[in-house]
Structure 1
Amino acid sequence: MEAHTTKQDRIGARVPHDVYETLRRAAELSGATVNQFLVQSALKEAQAVIEREEIIRLSARDWTWLLDQLENPPSPNAKLKAAMERYQQAKCDDADSSFNWPA
């Protein structure tokens, strides 16, 4: 049977003694080593930060509004029509460019 090893990295931090004692006490109360406690706590906070930055949360009212907009989009106004025309022109200009290479 083949043993799988995972790459591990080291994290170190110097903290004031009173901070260390607080961390040590919390780790002891949770039944973990200081290192385990730090990693678990830091990972939990890191996941919360990533979720907060990457996930958009909507209220039920806003979700209903968004679905309605997707299912029944408003008619394009003059600015949107002008933007679409500029986009189509830019696409045509790119197609005529000498920098296009065959696929």
Structure 2
Amino acid sequence: MDKHQNSASLVIHIDEETQTLIDRAAELAGSTLEQFLIQAATKEALAVEIEALHISVSNQTADRILQHLENPKPASLELRKAALKHRQVAHQYRTKDSR
């Protein structure tokens, strides 16, 4: 099986100084340039994803959030109207697509 069968290509343009830095770093890491770039990009992508999706709060704030989740306020009239409108629009959209 071809190792590139389920892979994608990426073309980048960088200045010579950056290219030299990356080449040196890959060599020092004992990796090919391709391996080094994939590892570095993956590491950065995971860090960005964690930063974007992870929420840190104090214990006091966490307790307040749990209190609100366990004892929610009743939905306001405006919220109930918005939910009904959303349900109607979603139903129209689904029935339009199923034709």
Could you tell me the TM-score, scaled by structure 1's length? 0.64
Stretches of structure 2 lacking an aligned partner (at least 5 in a row): 89-94
Q: What value does the CA root-mean-square deviation take over the aligned residues?
A: 2.8
**Residues matched between the structures, number:** 87
**Is 1:81 the equivalent of 2:76?**
yes
How do 1:23-42 residues align onto structure 2 when only pairs under 5 Å count? Answer: 23-42=22-41
Greater than 6 Å deviation, 4+ residue runs: none
Aligned residue runs from structure 1 range 16-95, under 5 A: 16-74=15-73, 76=74, 80-83=75-78, 86=81
Amino acid corresponding to residue 24 of structure 1 in structure 2:
D
Larger Rg belongs to: 1
Identity of aligned residues (%): 29
Distance change in 2, residues 1:88/1:20 (3 Å) = closer
Cα deviation, 1:8-29, whole Å, max 9, x if unaligned, reads 1111212111111100111111
The residue aligned with 2:91 is none
Distance 1:4 1:63, change over 3 A: farther
Shift of 1:4: 9.2
Q: Distance in 1 between matches of 2:84 and 2:36?
A: 59
Distance 1:85 1:61, change over 3 A: closer
Matches of 2:25 and 2:34, distance apart in 1: 11
Q: Give the letter for the 2:31 counterpart.
A: A
Could you list the runs of 5+ residues in structure 1 that have no partner in the other structure?
95-100
